Structure formats: C-alpha cells, structure tokens
Amino acid sequence: MKRREFAKAVAAAGATLAASRALGGPGVYHERKPVKRSVEDTPVVLEVAINGSNTKARNKNVPETPQEIAADAIRCFDAGVTIVHAHSQQPNEDIEAAVKPYIEAFTPIRKKHPHAIIYPTANFDPKVSHKIRSVWPGEIQSGHYRPLAEAGLGNMMLFDTGVNYLGGYGENGLPGPADTFWWYGFWPGDFQMYLDVCNEFGTGASISVFEPGWMKNVVEMARKGVLPRGSKLNIYFADYGFAGCAPPIPAALDMYLQMLEGIDLPWDVGMLAANIMETPLARMSLERGGSFRVGLEDWMDGPSNVEQIAMAKEMIDKVGRRVVTGAEAIKYLDIPFPATRPPA
C-alpha cells in the first residue's frame, strides 16, 4: 500500500479504533477474575529477535545491514514465525537517518510477506548512554515509530514503560565494570508518544517486562482500559551472572502470571544473553498458555535464527500446540493497522 493510500485508510479507520476498544479480546481487564481459555486451543505467538546488539564479530550468523536483516527476516517468516523483532544497528540522533535503514529492511519483507508482524527497537545507542549517564530525549529515542508507521511498514512497536540496568557484574561482585554498565529507560513523554502512534495508526504493541514494576505498569494500563489493540508481552529473565531481571525459575514466572490474573493478554518469556530453551521456563510457558522468544539477540552465541526457530517448533509440537502466522496472527492479536489488516 502506497503512503498516500495508507494515510487515507488510517483517516477512515481512525474513528473505529477508539470505539472498538469496548469490545472483548486481548488486553481486556476482567477484574482479576481468571480468564478461562483452553491451552490447547490457544495459538503460540512465536517471536524471533534476529540481531539486537549482537554482531558478526561475535556470531557470523548475525544480520547487520538492512539487506541482511531483510533476507534473514524473510527466512524466519518462511520458517513459520509469528513476529520478527530487529535492530537497525544504526541508531542516530537524526530521526530521518534513524528511520532510513528500517525502511530499507522492512520494505522487501513487507513485499514478500504482506501480513508479517515486524517491529523495531528503540532508537538508542548504549555507548552514548554510558557516556552521558542518560539516554537521548524522547523525541529522538521514540520518534522513529511514527514515520515507520506512516510508511505503512511497521505494524507493531516497542512499548517500554520503565527503567532497568542491563549488564553484568565486576570481579568485586558489584554491577559493572564501568565500561559495560549502562542504564536503559524511558520517560512519561515516551509512553504518551507510543500510545499516540498505536491509537492513531492502529499499530500493535510489544510491551516489555524487565522487572515486577514494569508488570505493574501493564496491569494499571489494563485497569484503565488504555492497552493498545494488538498488545502482547515479552517477560524477560536473566541468569544470576547478569544484573537485572528475575532469574529463570518457575516461582518467578508464577509471580508474573499471578500479577496478570484477569488480563487476557498474549505473553511470552525471553532470556537475556542465554538460551531460554535450556531453562524450565520455555516448556512451562507453553503449558501455561504462553510462548517463548528465540533469536540471536537473546541467545547470542547460538545457531542461526532459522535453526533456533526449528528447535522452538520442535518443543511446541511436543506440547501439542501450534504457531499462529500471517493474516491469522494479525486477526488473533487484533492489530488494526490498515496496511496489513486482512479483509474481514
């Protein structure tokens, strides 16, 4: 769909987006009453995070250029994933420059897979964050989502609502060392920018949960009825050698699921800097009606993204569930983005 046609579609659909929020479906709050849904009949939303901050210097399989990102994402969709998450590897204070590699990467993906669900990361540079002990202002860090949606390419966006330290520990047992310590976070202005883009364009929202406080934010948005249509959760865990996030133990996932009680929202679990499939949480998530995230952003030293997908699907098949893809996934997640919404 061309940009002008897409703009007209957005204008025509705008009036129905707010009204449709009164309908049931994912993201609806049920006053903390357990949502009864058959696990076997609940499709798996399988996400692959294809690169993150990983590089070819660490793993030869990592896609870095827009052309490599496009080719790898297409292979992943061909392999049957629901969602692809990608980093451009080119953060920039100039929003036009920051959006350009995403447009170059997402355009051929959208041509091959018109109903594909793809979304970028925030526009941030860890090196800059470390140097200035902060992040770029919200209009820079989160300003690239709007033009990507306007182009009819990005039908989902990252919706991060908190602050977190991401890194390891030094020899003294304290978070660090200093050259690897960096702060990752967002401000209220960012949250409003996300919400405005979701509501105006109908993009879905991939909502991150790094700590229990982030899950409280999700619960409050659900209570107030402002969760965007097409929302789903990534609940992150990390081993004890990685600072931040809960450890990958069943009790930790139980805590998060208890917090989610009464909220009908697709969710998956992810593992920072490790293989989630080597923890009990991958199978546990499938047995509880959720999913898990794979890809070279998380399992940085692992095999290719397509190989990780194959491993994930083998586990999913053993549990007796299926992965939702393409147009069916758009309808299941209820993403109203006009450029990729299939006919009713």
CATH number, domain with residue 215? 3.20.20.70
Q: Domains in the chain: how many in total?
A: 1
Amino acid 250: pLDDT: 98
Which range is least confidently modeled, 37-51, 94-108, 207-221?
A: 37-51
- Between CA 326 and CA 277, with CA 313 as vertex, the angle to 5 degrees is 125
> CB neighbours (10 Å) of residue 326?
17
What's the rounded mean pLDDT across residues 62-90? 98
Over 50: is that where the pLDDT of 117 sits?
Answer: yes
Average pLDDT over residues 200-229: 96
Q: Is residue 18 part of a domain?
A: no
Give the pLDDT score at 35.
56
Long-range CB contacts for residues 12-15, cutoff 8 Å, separation at least 24 = 12/338, 13/202, 13/336, 13/338, 14/200
Q: Any idea which of 135-144, 173-182, 198-207, 289-298 has the lowest mean pLDDT?
A: 173-182
Residues near 144 by beta carbon (within 8 Å), at least 6 away in sequence: 95, 98, 99, 102, 120, 123
| pLDDT tens string 174-197 | 998 877 777 888 999 999 999 999
Mean per-residue pLDDT for 5-9? 51
The whole-number average pLDDT for the span 69-96 is 97
Taking residue 34's Cβ as centre, other Cβ atoms within 10 Å add up to 8
pLDDT of 12 above 80: no
pLDDT above 50 for 303? yes
pTM score above 0.85: yes
Q: Say what the pLDDT of residue 184 is.
A: 86
Residue 183: the pLDDT is: 82
Q: Which domain holds residue 105?
A: 39-333
Q: Decide: 181 and 201 in contact? Cβ < 8 Å.
A: no
Does residue 255 register a pLDDT over 60? yes
Residues 277-297: pLDDT tens digits? 999 999 999 999 999 999 999
Comparing 1-10, 52-61, 221-230, the range with the smallest average pLDDT is 1-10
Residue 258 is assigned to a structural domain of this protein:
yes
CA gyration radius, the chain: 19
Mean pLDDT, rounded, for 227-231: 96
pLDDT value for 193? 95
Q: Rounded to an integer, what distance in angstroms lies between the CA atom of residue 281 and that of residue 294?
A: 13
* Separation of alpha carbons 111 and 70, rounded Å: 11
Asked whether residue 45 is domain-assigned, the answer is yes
Is residue 27 in a domain? no
Q: Has residue 344 been placed in a domain?
A: no
